[in-house]
Structure 1
Amino acid sequence: MNFSKFSEKLPDMSVSVGNLTLSSPLMIASGVWPHEAKFWREPYTNGVGAICSKGLTRHPRPGNKGTRIWETSSGLLNSIGLQNSGIEAFVAEELPEISGNQVPVVVNLAIETLEEAEEGLILLKSAKEHIAAIELNVSCPNVDFGGMAWGVSEEGVAQVLAATRPLWEGELWVKLTPQVSNLVDVAKVAQEMGADALVVANTWLGMAIDVDRKKPVFERVVAGLSGPAVFPLALKCVYEAAGAVSIPVIGCGGVSCGNDALAMLLAGAVAVEVGSMLLHDLLCMAEIHDQARRKLAEWNVSSVRDIIGKGRSEGF
């Protein structure tokens, strides 16, 4: 298609997530992006509104043993196990390198114990001027302690926010797990306990068997499934959560093209995180952004903000 006729009226792609303004509704999801300065500037950041850090823990973690990544026919299974250098090293060595590049840094804080979460936030406060938001990860499926265990119940989410909300004055988001009996109830509790936004959602539990070895691929047997296979499931979660809370919802799960991103926004998300697609193409964010923007131009929409939630009613 020839898009030249839309060149003079390309829509505004900026959005707001609480008090945070993003130049694009597209964010890079936690766990996929290197903490190396060159990846936090152009051309990698073209079309990117914000970047989430790897999941950080109070102390360094080596990650899981054995196989960590396994491709499926329509997605990706991962069992990384929150490998990271720890919050102290992140603040002292990595954050100075990746901040200051005009792309907001969202710090993904993995919740292991409440005490370590509190200690982590205190350390992060020393670098608060470089952090746009904290994304509380109560949904990692690839660890033995903490992680998803906090996010599968209303009580767990309430405990995490009761401990962390008083310690962080800025934007505090909660990344929910889809492995919950009632996502709406958990989302409501997160809002009641002071979350500024919800990220919906993390990976789904799955597994793989290596037929040649005749045994499960992963040492922990189960792993997190992401990629195009989970997009319809993630879209449903976004639709349900956005209809249940008044705080912003950020869609996450299986987004691989502009239409996927627009679907998330139409369902009620105010921004969209992209993850597994980046393992296929580090420069895909610009393409997804352009695809979405051109579609908005076809619709004669002047701002991407005008379509948020419109898929929940009669359209526009």
Structure 2
Amino acid sequence: MKGRSLIRLPSQADFDLKKIAESGQCFRLMPAQPPRETELFSLLHSKGTSIESYRLPVKDRVLFLGQDGEGRVYMDCSDEDFEEIWAPYFDLDRDYRAVREGVDAKKDSFLAQALESGKGIRILRQDPWECLVTFVISQRKNIPAIQKAVETLAQEGGDLLAFDGEERPIYRFPGPREVHAFSEDSFKRIRLGYREKYIRRLAADLAQTPGILETYRDLSDPDLMDRLLSFYGVGIKIASCVALFAYGRLDLAPIDVWMERVSRDYYGGEMDLTAYSPHAGLIQQYLFYHIRLIQGGLPRPEARQDGRSD
């Protein structure tokens, strides 16, 4: 834990850790106890303190973070990692409140409700390779099954990074070359079903040029989508998710079954997200969160949890 400290972010309406974790963007941001030797653990277990805590592995780092009942966010990391990794990852430089307040929802009660209930969601900046693979896997409809497959994949090919406060191991997400080298037994343990052929092909293709996805950051939105759609097994929904959640293209809005319900049930099948350019993807995320909230798609005790299905 050398060089680590406890970064404290003041309460703000547009950073809700629980909503971010439930927003369908990332499958490795999960509830977890921080290690006992951290200041976050001490704070978590201090008298009268109520904090929801999570763990988030990104490349070779693991962030333990939490949020208290007043909205204050705590991150167990060094100042350097906060500035270089976590602030960009959580898109902390963007004023989400200004975006929300700039949307005219006076004549759209459903959108107004979505902007309020989704307040606190931020668009993450995930690693493109990890985001691509996990969204190919996410064609499963059950979030626990997606998370299990993703964690098993990490265990099969990634280094052990840390243990959480309950001694559960956390592994690095393996790169294309590591996944390409998986044995048949590894794939059997991950249990990807028909998605296995897509992951195998992605790994084989990108193992030849493992850094190519990073070079896509300078592409225009149309060119980025064209490159992503060129990969085997990647359709418009997955490409849009990766463009939004890895490359920060806030004008690209993934359309899945949940968003089709929004269009059908509230907009007569004629929903037009381009009206919210250049933030159509963010507005989509508020609508996505809200429709799942009111139709039972968010986690409930003993309830099925649906992901972003095609």
TM superposition score normalised by structure 1: 0.29
Q: Higher helix share goes to which structure? A: 2
